[in-house]
Amino acid sequence: MQALSSSQDFKGMLEILLRQRPELNPERVRDLIDEKKRKVGAGYLTDQGALFLVAADLGVSFDNVSKMQTGLKDIYIGAKEATVVGRIMNIYPIHRFTRRDSNEQAATRTLVIYDKDAKVKVKLWDKHTTIPDEMGLQAGDVIKIVKGYVRAGLDGKPVINLGNYSTIETAPDDSSIPTIDSMTITVDAINSLQDNAVISGTVSSNPRVTDFVNARGEASKSLQLQLSNEAGTRSLRAVIWNVDESRVPKVFRTGSKVHLIGVRVKQGNPQYGSGDFEIHGDEGTMLQFSSSQEDVEVMPLRIISIGEETGRGSFMCFAVDRAGSPLTLTIDNSLVSSKQLNEGAMIECVPSRIFGNSVTLSKDDSYVRVTDEGDDASFPTQSKFEKKIQDVQISQDPYIIEAIVLQAPETAEVSTKSGETIPMTSTLLGDDTGEIRLVGWRNQSAGVNKLNVGDRTRLAGVTAGSGREGKVELTLRPYSSITKLS
């Protein structure tokens, strides 16, 4: 092949030689180059020319050096100018931080790319972090990383970093690299632990976004749902940690089809569930929804119960729509206060989000109006949910119960499966058809504790489940209300 003259090519050739002869190090190769130049004669060989002769002695070929491109499985820690082609699986958000040594602001971002043989993380720094947005990159795009340097990640695996002279380029689609669709598996096909998996399924439970504190000590959110097969015969817990709510549709109902791109399959803990596999993603997981997304429209609702304050400037309610479907509402106090609502009142609202049967009305993008249509005959009334104790069955649909308190409330400290200790208060209720236990956990414990023996009480928005010795019992919820009757 034709001799190459630039120092950049010399570095690339040195990387290839070290990769093919890992028992050598750069210092040893330098000695061999100097020795070759002395033997052949000063003035006849450049360092690069001597390297060709050293490589020939060692049985190393530079036939592909002009390409300076390698497969992902061939990259190695310490490489200075790795050029690779891969398909994008994950694009993480930008993470900004302060450097400890200089107190300067810095930014980093991670991509995960793959080819037919391997998956590798690509680390972007500072000015490079905006490149994916500027190029409009998405999961499934094929890109070329030019002149990246490779370091060990926290797990000891190679990570390609972009330096000052590194670039990202779009590349023609490569049929040798599997597509995202071809890698997709269903819930039925999950039978082992996996990293960087692509899983499709049907949302079979009410998806919800919950607050938690992440590993960096920052307030964050997680998306939790159950993902099922088409027949509904297998359902796995799925959690997307550090989720960006803007990436989740405003209307996200049970029955939605979803693709989770770049997730881990972990073994579930039988102490906390069925012990089947679990699906875990993070802020880099790509969420794709196969069905067209609904627009958020004006919803007329009837309020059935008015619950407690959340402690975050909002309160919770239980309501029904015209079809009688039960909904839990979280309403920001700036839109309407709990004192402005009455049980049985009608409202019109434009929600911020609809997750299954959970509706969120936030101050930024919601609207609420209390109407004068409390007697709208087209809407179910509270009587639809009123039951006698003998008619209560296990159900997630809330009940309205009128009963008398038969026992003084008792409070106990209960240890949860996660090791947390929480209060639980219970009492016994009765009507002319029977008796039933009422339980309040956590914040709802205080509501039960306020009851006295002999109180005639109206409970709105309580649910029924299996309690002690398999008997049906009532549970107070954050959207439940307790009214003492005269």
- The CATH architecture of the domain made up of 180-289 is Beta Barrel (2.40)
CATH T-level topology, domain 299-370 = OB fold (Dihydrolipoamide Acetyltransferase, E2P) (2.40.50)
DSSP string of 196-236? EEEEEEEE-S--EEEEEE-TTS-EEEEEEEEEE-TTSS-EE
H-type helices in 178-336, by residue range? Answer: 180-183
Structure token digits, residue 67: 């390409």
Task: Give pLDDT tens digits for 440-478.
Answer: 998 899 999 999 999 999 999 999 998 877 889 999 999
Q: How large is the angle between the packed helices 47-58 and 7-20, nearest 10 degrees? A: 20
Rounded distance between C-alpha atoms, residue 153 and residue 195, angstroms: 16
Q: Give me the residues of the chain with pLDDT under 70, please.
A: 1-9, 41-44, 62-70, 271-273, 291-295, 373-375, 417-418
Domain residue spans in the chain? 7-58, 72-170, 180-289, 299-370, 386-485
CA–chain centroid gap for 54, Å, is 52
pLDDT of residue 374: 59
CATH classification code of 386-485 = 2.40.50.140
pLDDT of residue 291: 59
Structure token digits, residue 459: 């409970």
**Longest C-alpha distance within the chain, in Å?**
111
Rounded distance between C-alpha atoms, residue 423 and residue 112, angstroms: 44
Task: Give pLDDT tens digits for 64-92.
Answer: 544 455 688 888 888 888 889 999 999 99
Select from 2.40.50.140, 3.30.1490.190, 3.40.30.10, 3.40.1410.10 the CATH code of 72-170. 2.40.50.140
Rounded distance between C-alpha atoms, residue 423 and residue 414, angstroms: 6
